[in-house]
Chain A
Amino acid sequence: MVYARTLGSTTYTFQVSGRLWRNSLIMVDRETGTSWSQVTGRAIDGKHRGAQLQKLEAIETTWEQWREAHPSTSLLKKSKEVLSSPYQAYFDDPEKMGLFRAQWLAERMPGKTLVYGASIGPHAVAVTDGALGDEMVAATLGDTPVVLARAGDGGVRAFVTRVGGEEIGLRRNRENGDVEDAGGSVWDLGTGRCTSGPRSGARLESVAVTPVYWFAWSGFYPNTQVIDGSPR
């Protein structure tokens, strides 16, 4: 996840607290010691309690795909060679996960299931990696229609599928693979822009997507809608 680290005109720097809440990282800012949830960006304790960091659109993909989509990209420099994650054993072990409500969570699906989470206010949806595949999945958050989709750069993004108050109902054209709305406009779900047709130039509002293990997402959004590919 990527957050704007400013509140008003003040910029904050974050540290790793060493503490977990709802199975995920608590960040603390150096300036006030406020505790912030890594998953939601909300201040959960301390001076800024209740404040919200803005979550920016960011994706998880492979270096190869990112480099191809963004040839001029910069990369955080490595000070030493890193050949794998220090947590590979943790990723590979389906039993190793957080402590919080672990038994209760496991009833819905295995805790280590990778999901793509999106939320608007209290409304949340989790789409499993298996259900999404290379396709797109529609959901409704409160009364807001959204679509989650994997774009050509491998990243999963979400967009509000409403333009000027009108729901646009996206679908995949099976012949050429384009994503089209009911009026025949073509949309790029890597950028949210309409590339051709009557709505050409329009842009869909983006909703931040969080790639996350189920056991962490469900700790924050126990009532989350789940799209896992099984009949609904």
Chain B
Amino acid sequence: MRSIGISLGITVFVFLAAAHARQPEPEVVATIGGDEVYKLLPVGVVPAIDDPEFVSGRDADRQMRAEEPVLGVVIAGEARAYSLWQLDAHEIVNDEIAGRAVAATW
């Protein structure tokens, strides 16, 4: 079994920690379904990737460590991986795989 240390299975909003440092008390700006919406940062401060570029083969291996966690998806036989260390700084990739528009988010 893998260790949880490797498995950063985080869909939660990981910039929370960083935001805490800047803004000790996040502001409640709305409620939806009875639950608070907290504003931590302005829109777009964490920059989504809109024009992704890709590498494969050895070029990909050179950018990655063996144990580095990835989000992987296969669409119509086309496989794509996103480093979670990289996604942590962007949260969203607006991408297209095998002609299908997708959003990879972490």
Contact = CB atoms under 8 A, between A and B. Distances in A.
Contacts of B7: 60, 114, 129, 211
B9 A56 contact: no
B50 to A, nearest CB: 6
A216 B80 CA distance: 26
B93 A76 contact: yes
B73 A99 contact: no
Contacts of A232: none
Given A16-B91, A26-B37, A56 B26 contact: no
Contacts of A83: 65, 85
Interface string A56-95: 1111111110110010111111100011111101110100
The size class of the interface chain B forms with chain A is 35 or more
B13 A100 contact: no
Interface centre among A18, A22, A153, A219 (most CB of B within 10 A): A18
A169 B31 CA distance: 43
A91 B18 CA distance: 12
Interface stretch (A37-45, A160-168, A170-178, A181-189): A37-45
A226 interface: no
A84 B15 CA distance: 15
A150 B20 CA distance: 35
A75 B63 contact: yes
Contacts of B106: 1
A85 B9 CA distance: 12
Contact of B38 (A20, A77, A154): A20
B36 to A, nearest CB: 7
Interface string B43-60: 111111110111110001
B12 A212 contact: yes
B86 A76 contact: yes
B39 to A, nearest CB: 5
Contacts of A85: 8, 14, 84-85, 88
Interface in B51-93: 52-56, 60-61, 63-75, 78-86, 88-93
Given A27-B92, A86-B18, A96-B17, A76 B73 contact: no
Given A35-B32, A78-B63, 4 more contacts: A13-B94, A16-B44, A20-B37, A83-B85
29 contacts: A1-B104, A2-B71, A3-B102, A16-B41, A19-B38, A20-B13, A23-B13, A25-B11, A27-B105, A38-B11, A60-B7, A60-B8, A60-B69, A63-B70, A66-B70, A74-B78, A74-B80, A76-B81, A78-B86, A85-B14, A97-B12, A97-B16, A98-B13, A129-B1, A134-B1, A154-B2, A211-B11, A212-B10, A219-B35
